[in-house]
Structure 1
Amino acid sequence: MSDRPIPAARRAARADGEHPSQFRLLRERRFAPFFWTQFLGAMNDNVFKIGFTSLVTYQAARFSGVDPATAAFMISAIFIAPFLLFSATSGQIADKYDKALLTRWVKTFEIAVMLVGAAGFWLHSAPLLYACTFLMGVHSTVFGPVKYAYLPQNLDEHELVGGNGLVEMGTFVAILVGTIVGGLAAGIGARAGTAGGAVWLGGICIAVAVAGRFASSFVPPCAPSQPGLTINWNPVSETWRNLKLAHRDRTVFLSLLGISWLWFVGATFLASFFNFAKDVLSADADVVTLLLAMFSLGIGIGSLLCERLSKRRLEIGLVPLGSIGISVFAIDLFFASHALPRAGHLLSVGEFLRTSAHWRVLADLFLLAMFGGFYSVPLYALIQSRSEPSHRARIIAANNILNSLFMILSALMAIGLTAAGVGIPGLFLTTALLNVVVAAYIYARVPEFLLRFVAWLLVHTVYRIRVVHAERIPARGPAVLVCNHVSYVDALVIMAESPRPIRFVMDHRIFATPFAGWVFRHAKAIPVAPAHEDPARLAAAYDQCASALADGELLCIFPEGKLTGTGELNPFRHGVIEILKRSPVPVVPMALRGLWGSVFSRHAASGLERAVGRGLTSRLTLAVGEPLDPDTATLDRLQQAVAALRGARR
């Protein structure tokens, strides 16, 4: 969430329920200069790398001592090396100093680096170009923690998903543009039989670096998160310390692993495109650009859709949806690759598009990447929102370290499978199946992802839900939510609409069921039993409730103690009062309307009745009341508040 004061105009917009489009951020100084700075930096990385790779591949004779068969791997490895060496130090620097000043310093450094690169292109000097590749890796290593620590410090909580979506979209569009520009510029000399391509590449890289430095001059001041930090310049010990820092919060650490896994998947696919086009699709190099375009557009559109699908808040339920889509379409890509007609020559883009079977390949790549956007944006937003502001940049640095390790593992896996005779489609299938295993591991360790996915799916398929006064649910700090109990999915509906995690107080019998019990235990739900059944369990439940509220968590209880059998409110039990006696925190009454008669309530309407009276999906409302002071929250007053919120509709 944002660490800076919220301007009055934006507070008023939030109070009125107004949520402008995420594209509005591109007109605001707190976001736009930063966005274009990072866009131009990502673009320049790829203009340089693609241009360098193309020159040493197709004009190898001009570069002495370079093996064109291994040059692409060398360039990639050299670029990644600084992430392993300097990410830990970069995270400390980003926490200690003003991020706007660091941004301008980094962009000035980029101009100097590109002067070295231009000299390397002009002189056809591979050592200079390799040195430039390493220095561009240093540039990206330093800027990475600044980039992702800047967003939560300058955006409101409800803007974080949209802002991350724009950054992810911009990054992949920049990669696409940089790839096209770098390839075209390098090809100028090849087509003319001159060294003109090298000159063009040098000039373009310098021009883009200067434009990035100009954009960075408009980035507003951004106060350091921990100005008194003493920097540890030992990269080994600091790398280990950063990883331990990230490991303090299991959800954050597994989110870091999840993002790094996406980089593993992305690196596997992107590195395979040239061989996939040539050996599987029988297509020329221009088709590689088309494949990359579909992949980049998919990531961009998926990233932008996250804001709409998540209702402009952090919705980690999209993460399992994303991982499912990645595997489904990667597996389909494997089968699509075996159903292609063979051509006697390398197909041009026009010839490639005239074959209907190739459209399935393009659709698979686009949809795979789109679901990758669903997967990555919520994870980045989760890390930013749940990391302590004082060391948020160092958490991002830990992420960069893990990303680098996973990309190296991706390359090693690809090399090993290729040496074993596995083709590119087999590599895609292996990656898809590994994705299933990794996803299962993460969701088993943090069932919150899976629960939020089920909740999100429920309210986007079976139910159409309207929330009245969602802003009354506290954004931070402890509180007790009390709600009527209408159906077996009440907790999931409330969870789906809450802006933050909730600890539910639930009947202990639920924990005896194999699957639900396992899930809710890992979701840290609190089992409760009546005093006449198990007084020791009841006492333990009160202790857990007090501990959760002391830690600033949200607690939700259904004071009726059981599902309604008539649709009307049952009398409230005194358990909620006992909780408030131990922990006097605000109480937020809530009411669910429209669940009675649904398939998950005790009175399920017939299929015909639902179709006529409710439509194919049930319309329901979650109404949130004004928070009550714990001293005045009697049972009668709470029941009256919930009854008034529910109204006549059951």
Structure 2
Amino acid sequence: MTPDSDRHSQFELLRQRRFLPFFAVQSLGAFNDNVYRQAIIGLLFYLGVTPEERTLYTNLAPALFILPYFLFSALAGQIAEKLEKSKLIRITTAMEIAIMSLAAAGFLMQNMTVLLVALFCTGLQSTLFGPVKYSILPSVLKPEELTGGNGLVEMGTSISILIGMIFGGLIFQIAGSHGPVTAATAVVALAILGNVVSRMIPRAEAGAPGLKINWNPLPESLAIWRLTRKQLAVRNAILGVSWFWFIGTMLTAQLPTYAEINLGGESRHYIFALALFSIGTGVGSLLCEKLSARTVEIGLVPLGAFGISAFMLDLYFARSGAAPMHVSTIAAFLQLPGSTRIVIDLLGIGAFTGFFVVPLFALIQSRTPKGELARVIAGMNIQNAVFIVVAAVVGIAVQRFLGWTIPQVFLALAIANTLVAIYIFTIVPEFLMRFLSWVLVRTLYRLRVRGIEQHVPDDGAALIVCNHVSYMDALILAASIPRPVRFVMYYKIFNIPVMRFIFRTAKAIPIAGARENPELMQRAFDAIDQALAEGEIVCIFPEGKLTKDGEIAAFKSGVERILEKRPVPVVPMALRGMWASMWSHRDNRMGRMRVPRRLRAHVEVVADAPVDGRGATAEGLEARVRELRGDAA
């Protein structure tokens, strides 16, 4: 039987109207922004301005683009929360047509003042589009599609930025005297195309249509900043995204000088280095869905963070000084000692950046209430802007005042990234816990899932009942279910060394028998009821103990006690193939040492349609789980 994770691919979203038009609009917007900015630089060379004037304009342009994020993000978040999302996207793309028409006039008149005003307006348009860009995804995608959808968006954005920079940079080189007309035509045509495509985006309801807009940016900025800090995991996910922007800004800002000094001295080497980083980011973003098995797998975040540090550290050692000689072609560059390592390192940094940032976006979207998401994204954008500015200032300061070389900057980034990652994972151990469970499950098992997408509710309380076969059952189920799950487990399993850290961090609920510890048992039922009252998913193993013969034991009445007080939907699940795997009671202690036979066992998680909690009985649920399990013990 084909598992859910095999039947679906994130690329299928590109065939569906609920995602494709939005993906195209986002990619076209990123492409046009970079065509425009590179065309401005091309115009500066075309006009023959002095190097001092060119430096002034190239430093002023990023500041003008990012300034609206500080000024208008609070307003943008409220508007994105209040308006129907497809309508807002059409409004912002119509704004882009007007702004690019102004930019076209600037190109035709060869007037830098007009072009810089239009650049500020482009930043304003991006500020308005930002909150709806990420808040629309949870409205049109299922929870298990969030990682794949975000991966596609990040891939499309990074590749669009790269191609836009190349295209914009070539306009004046290829068109020559027709450069101003070509640039003007290109930016307007792309804006019109984006608006046309935006009209195909289906309706996506507002998160908070009754929201009263506060037009004062200062108190509202503080209010949305407080929203970003309501949940510890979300707060630190936003910190992680902002740190991603810090690293990305520092890295890409150094690449032009790095290409000149360390890669051989040609502008094409800068584009080549940027292309490697962008392609790596795109590939890493796409791989997130495969590696996460279509769940919001924040266990990839530590992998991404430490992978970035490892490859950035190696980038320093690959060539810590200047290039051995000046080379004019990419082929000649690749012949230089250490060049292959540089290529691998830039691809690796990009790939692990994708592993790092895509799950963070998915976590923010899945853990934030829909009526607050756009404002939380707006708050994140303000914080991102602060980190981008700080990165630019730090990059200049360490080179001008401390005399650091570019490779030394990369070395410092590798060390700083490791320290920041350790800090985040110490504050929110859930990231590290998920990483450990992700590694364990994918190392020890070949996991297949069936029925999870259809039968586990996307939101609201639910009780999951499942057969109990091995000490790894909770980790297997956690890796299969897209939502966070509160597991109820026997306190002796909960207290297993090392695993205790994972279970405690996952907020598992330890329980004991009435004769063993009636007080602990009562605390467990109270915790279960509170979790269900707060809309969480709770999983129990109604047999009360691991199977000793591979068969399902009778379900105890505890499940009925839970439902009597809180009659939530009950999702029957069955673990298949676990009896032959490691850490079941199939073999004696010596038999368990036969690891090769049991490593990478094929296991399956099967879910059935929810049962109404008001009429569910232990006997009836046991029968459903037996039927799901079948003969595949």
Task: Identify whether the pair has TM-score above 0.5, normalized to the shorter chain.
Answer: yes
Q: SS where residue 591 of structure 1 aligns?
A: strand
Change beyond 3 A, Cα 1:578–1:626? same
Is the CA contact (8 Å cut-off) linking 2:295 and 2:480 kept in structure 1?
A: no
2:475 to 492, 507, 511: 492
What is the aligned partner in structure 2 of residue 581 from structure 1?
564
For 2:23, the aligned partner's letter is: F
In 2 relative to 1, CA 600–409 (structure 1 residues): closer, same or farther, beyond 3 Å?
farther
Does 1:416 find its partner at 2:402? no
Aligned 8 A contact 2:488 2:539 in 1? yes
CA 1:421–1:524 in 2, change beyond 3 Å: closer, same or farther?
Answer: same
Matched residue, 1:250: 232
Matching residue's letter, 2:389: I
- Matched-pair contact (CA < 8 Å) for 1:282–1:346: yes
**For 1:63 and 1:218, how far apart are their aligned partners in 2?**
46
Match of 2:350 in 1: 369
**How many angstroms apart in 2 are the aligned matches of 1:17 and 1:513?**
31
Please give the secondary structure, in 1, of the residue aligned with 2:606: strand
What is the alpha-carbon distance in structure 1 between the residues aligned to residue 459 and residue 66 of structure 2?
A: 38
**1:502 corresponds to 2:504:** no
**Correspondence 1:111 to 2:111:** no
Whole-angstrom distance in 1 between the partners of 2:575 and 2:8:
27
* Shift in CA distance, 35/362, structure 1 to aligned 2, threshold 3 Å: same
Tell me the distance in 1 between the aligned counterparts of 2:232 and 2:60.
Answer: 35
- Check conservation: 2:42, 2:171, Cα contact below 8 A: no
Q: Letter of the aligned partner of 2:408 in structure 1?
A: G
CA-CA distance at 1:397 after TM superposition: 0.9
Identify the residue that residue 266 of structure 1 maps to in structure 2.
Answer: 248
1:435 Cα offset (Å): 2.1
Amino acid at match of 1:559: P
Specify the alignment match of 1:281 in structure 2: 263
Write the letter of the residue equivalent to 2:152: L
- Helix, strand or coil: the match of 2:287? helix
In 1, Cα distance between equivalents of 2:346 and 2:3: 41
Aligned to 1:233: 215
Greater Cα shift, 508-517 or 119-128: 508-517
Which residue of structure 2 aligns with residue 157 of structure 1?
143
Please list the CA deviations of residues 303-324 of structure 1 after superposition, one character each: whole Å capped at 9, or x if unmatched: 2222333333433332232223
For 1:572-616, what per-residue CA distance to the aligned partner results, in whole angstroms no more than 9, with x for missing partners? 5544343333323333343333334544345467599554x55x5
Q: Which amino acid aligns with 1:553?
A: E
Q: How far apart are the structure 2 equivalents of 1:482 and 1:223? A: 34
Which residue of structure 2 lines up, in the alignment, with residue 396 of structure 1?
377
1:464 pairs with 2:446: yes
Residue 546 (1) aligns with residue 529 (2): yes
Aligned to 1:137: 123
Equivalence for 1:40: 28
What is the CA-CA distance between 1:329 and the residue it aligns to? 1.5
Report the Cα offset of residue 197 of structure 1. 3.6
Tell me the secondary structure at the aligned position of residue 68 of structure 1: helix
Q: Is the 8 A contact 1:82 1:137 kept in 2?
A: yes
The CA deviation at 1:267 is 1.1
Q: Which residue number corresponds to residue 380 of structure 1?
A: 361
Secondary structure of the corresponding residue to residue 281 of structure 1 = coil
Residue 296 (structure 1) aligns with = 278
Q: Give the 5 Å matches for 1:282-361.
A: 282-338=264-320, 342-343=324-325, 345-355=326-336, 357-361=338-342
Q: 1:54 to 1:430 in 2, by over 3 A?
A: farther
Return the alpha-carbon distance in structure 2 between the equivalents of residues 599 and 420 of structure 1. Answer: 55
8 Å Cα contact 1:504/1:525 also seen in 2: yes
Q: C-alpha deviations, 1:439-459, integer Å up to 9, x for none? A: 223333333333333333233
| 1:95-131 alpha-carbon deviations (Å, 9 max, x no partner) | 2223333222222222232233233334443322222
Structure-2 residue corresponding to 1:50 = 38
| Cα deviation, residue 231, structure 1 | 1.3
Residue 11 (structure 1) aligns with: none
Deviation at 1:495, TM superposition (A): 0.4
Unaligned runs of 5+ in 2: none
Which SS does the other structure have where 1:420 is aligned? coil
Alignment partners' CA distance in 1, 2:611 and 2:356: 38
TM-aligned CA deviation for residue 17 of structure 1: 8.5
- Partner Cα distance (1:200, 1:462) in 2: 57
- What CA deviation, in whole Å up to 9, does each residue of 1:49-94 have, x standing for no partner? 22223544x4674379x54345433221221111111111011111
Q: CA deviation at 1:527?
A: 2.6
Query: Is contact 1:447-1:523 (8 Å) kept?
Result: no
Where do residues 604-623 of structure 1 align in structure 2 (5 Å cutoff)? 611=596, 613-614=597-598, 616-623=599-606
Cα distance change of structure 1 residues 341 and 392 upon mapping to structure 2, 3 Å threshold = closer
Distance in structure 2 (CA, Å) of the matches to 1:649 and 1:40:
50
Q: Deviations over 1:353-374 (max 9, x none)?
A: 3336312211211122122222
Once residues 267 and 384 of structure 2 are traced to their aligned partners in structure 1, the CA distance between those partners, rounded to angstroms, is 28
SS of 2:372 mapped into structure 1: helix
Alignment of 1:178-193 (within 5 A): 178-188=164-174
Partner of 1:6: none
Amino acid at match of 1:557: I
Q: Using a 3 Å threshold, how does the CA distance of structure 1 residues 504 and 338 change in structure 2: closer, same or farther? A: same
Structure 2 CA distance for aligned equivalents of residues 480 and 212 of structure 1: 45
Are 2:324 and 2:336, in contact at CA under 8 Å, matched by a contact in 1? Answer: no
Taking a change above 3 Å as real, the CA distance of residues 432 and 464 of structure 1, as seen in their structure-2 partners, is: same
The equivalences for 1:70-81 within 5 A come to 70-81=56-67
TM-score by length of 1: 0.88
The DSSP-based 3-state class of the residue aligned with 2:578 is coil
Q: Is this contact kept in 2: 1:599–1:605, CA < 8 A? A: no
Aligned to 1:31: 19
Preserved CA contact (<8 Å) 2:79 2:213: yes
**One-letter amino acid of the counterpart of residue 451, structure 2:** H
Contact 1:283 1:348 in 2 (8 A): no
- What is residue 193 of structure 2 aligned with on the other side? 211
Shift of 1:571: 5.9
Number of equivalent positions: 628
Q: Deviation at 1:518?
A: 4.4
Deviation at 1:529, TM superposition (A): 3.3
Quick one: distance in 2 between partners of 1:511 and 1:157? 28
1:448 to 411, 430, 438: 430
State the Cα distance separating 1:45 from its structure 2 match.
0.9
Q: 1:499 to 1:221 in 2, by over 3 A?
A: closer
- Counterpart CA distance in 2 for 1:176 and 1:16 is 34
Q: Which amino acid aligns with 1:420?
A: L
Give 1:270 shift.
Answer: 1.0
Match of 2:88 in 1: 102
- Flag the 1:337–1:466 CA change in 2: closer, same or farther, 3 A: same
* Amino acid in structure 1 at the alignment position of 2:20: A
Judged with a 3 Å threshold, the aligned counterparts in structure 2 of structure 1 residues 96 and 129 are, in CA distance, closer, same or farther, namely: same
CA distance in structure 2 between the aligned counterparts of 1:21 and 1:642, rounded to whole angstroms:
29
- Percent identity for Structure 1 against Structure 2: 44
The RMSD of aligned alpha carbons is: 3.0
Structure 1: distance between partners of 2:21 and 2:124: 22
Shift of 1:554: 1.2
* Structure 1 unaligned blocks of 5 or more: 1-13
Q: After the TM superposition, which of the residue ranges 196-205 and 30-39 deviates more from structure 2?
A: 196-205
Q: CA distance change for structure 1 residues 247 and 16 in 2, over 3 Å: closer, same or farther?
A: closer
For residues 414 and 289 of structure 2, the distance between their equivalents in structure 1, rounded to whole angstroms, comes to 26
Q: Render the CA deviation track for 1:16-70: whole Å, top value 9, x for unaligned.
A: 99844433433433333322222221111111222223544x4674379x54345
